[in-house]
Structure 1
Amino acid sequence: MRNPPDDHAIAVWIWPRALPLAQIFGPAWDGAEIRARFLTLTGQWHARHPAPAAAEAGAGPRPGQWMWHPPAHRIYDCHTYEAEDDWLEVAIRMETVDFYPNHCRLGASLTIACRCETTHGAHTIVETSWRTGGPAGALDALTAVLRYTDQWIANSQQPAGWRRHAGLE
């Protein structure tokens, strides 16, 4: 991700099959059906987007790996669409909601490179966020989040188009 958390150094790239879902999200995530559905959804996410450019060059995650951030009980992944001097990034994340036991927060964002002087770095063009209880609801929400990202990228994978859409030209 272009803007990782400050304690990003303690996060690791890991295959979805190896993620300790029960440790991250709670014991209800330990079932075989839950894991199988999660793996199906993460596989669909990977299949819908190209491998990150860094992975092709050997610097970064391998295609299909997710970032696990243990202290925050968070997993996430992103795909970057690069153009000349510009980029567009679609990211999804899942994390626990500490103040609600057994709840997850899921979200996705579409971010574009920023050239302005006030908030230099990136602008979030569109995002969605869900809070759910239990693994079945979280996986339903993840299905919806994947649909949203599909719709965003179906409109355009070109940063310039999204820049115009957001009025950043």
Structure 2
Amino acid sequence: MRNPPEEHSLAVWIWPRALPLREIFGAAWDDPDIRTRFLTLAGQWHTRHPSPRPDPGPGGGPRPGQWMWHPPAHSIYDSHTYEEAGDDWLEVAVRMENADYFPGHCRIEASLTVACRCDSPHDRHTIVETRWRSGGPVAALDALTTVLRATDQWLADSRRPDWWRRHSGLR
């Protein structure tokens, strides 16, 4: 994400194949078919939204295709930022996390945000988002499929921050 929160000091960028899905979401995620489907969706996410920034190199941030794993929160996420000259940027992000209050459930969400130019420094405006809660890996991956389609639809309109600013009535 563009500006990860302070508590993300324990988070690491990791390749989807290395993500400990069982540790994050439970034993049912160990199934080879589930892992393969997740890797296919993660690959599709990267293909649909290739990183517009160059490869940052060692220690310079994530490499294109890596996801962030935040062990304490039992969550994984990735985002793509589309920047324009000046301080304008657009970010599309997808996140999956364990829903502790419902064992075996996952929360899956995506958001589209644009840079904030307000007087108060809250960093960004969420333009559109979608959230799902699913029980079990099959339902979670079905929800992830739906979420990825939503990001496609959002960005089909435009990948330009200024377009989204105008569309949302932001100055």
What interval of TM-score do these two structures reach, taking the shorter chain for normalisation? over 0.9
Higher mean alpha-carbon deviation, 119-128 vs 94-103, is at 119-128
Contact 2:75 2:97 (8 Å CA) reproduced: yes
1:80 maps to what in 2? 81
Say if 2:168 is the partner of 1:162. Answer: no
Equivalent-residue separation in structure 2 for 1:5 and 1:120 (angstroms): 12
Equivalent-residue separation in structure 2 for 1:28 and 1:83 (angstroms): 42
Q: Report the alpha carbon displacement of residue 57 of structure 1 after superposing the two structures with TM.
A: 3.6
Q: Report the alpha carbon displacement of residue 7 of structure 1 after superposing the two structures with TM.
A: 1.4
Say if 2:150 is the partner of 1:148. Answer: yes
Q: After superposition, what is the alpha-carbon deviation per residue over 1:87-123, rounded to whole angstroms, capped at 9, x for unaligned? A: 0000000001111000000000000000011353100
Q: TM-score, normalised by structure 1?
A: 0.96
Identity of aligned residues (%): 69
1:31 maps to what in 2? 31
Contact 2:83 2:90 (8 Å CA) reproduced: yes
Q: After superposition, what is the alpha-carbon deviation per residue over 1:42-90, rounded to whole angstroms, capped at 9, x for unaligned? A: 000000112252x524321111100000000000000000101210000
Cα RMSD of the aligned pairs, angstroms, is 1.1
Q: TM-score, normalised by structure 2?
A: 0.95
In structure 1, give the amino acid aligned to 2:23.
Q
In structure 2, give the amino acid aligned to 1:56.
D
Contact 1:52 1:63 (8 Å CA) reproduced: no
2:136 maps to what in 1? 134
Q: 1:124 aligns with which of 112, 116, 126?
A: 126
Equivalent-residue separation in structure 2 for 1:6 and 1:91 (angstroms): 18
Q: Report the alpha carbon displacement of residue 9 of structure 1 after superposing the two structures with TM.
A: 1.0
In structure 1, give the amino acid aligned to 2:63.
R
Equivalent-residue separation in structure 1 for 2:113 and 2:142 (angstroms): 24
Equivalent-residue separation in structure 1 for 2:134 and 2:6 (angstroms): 26
1:56 maps to what in 2? 55
Equivalent-residue separation in structure 2 for 1:33 and 1:118 (angstroms): 47
Equivalent-residue separation in structure 1 for 2:27 and 2:47 (angstroms): 28
Q: Report the alpha carbon displacement of residue 17 of structure 1 after superposing the two structures with TM.
A: 0.3
Alignment partner of 2:100: what SS?
A: coil
1:96 maps to what in 2? 98
Residues matched between the structures, number = 168
In structure 2, give the amino acid aligned to 1:10.
L
Q: Report the alpha carbon displacement of residue 33 of structure 1 after superposing the two structures with TM.
A: 0.2
Alignment partner of 1:23: what SS?
A: helix
Q: Report the alpha carbon displacement of residue 20 of structure 1 after superposing the two structures with TM.
A: 0.7
Equivalent-residue separation in structure 1 for 2:46 and 2:170 (angstroms): 29
| 5+ residue gaps, structure 1 | none
Alignment partner of 2:95: what SS?
A: strand
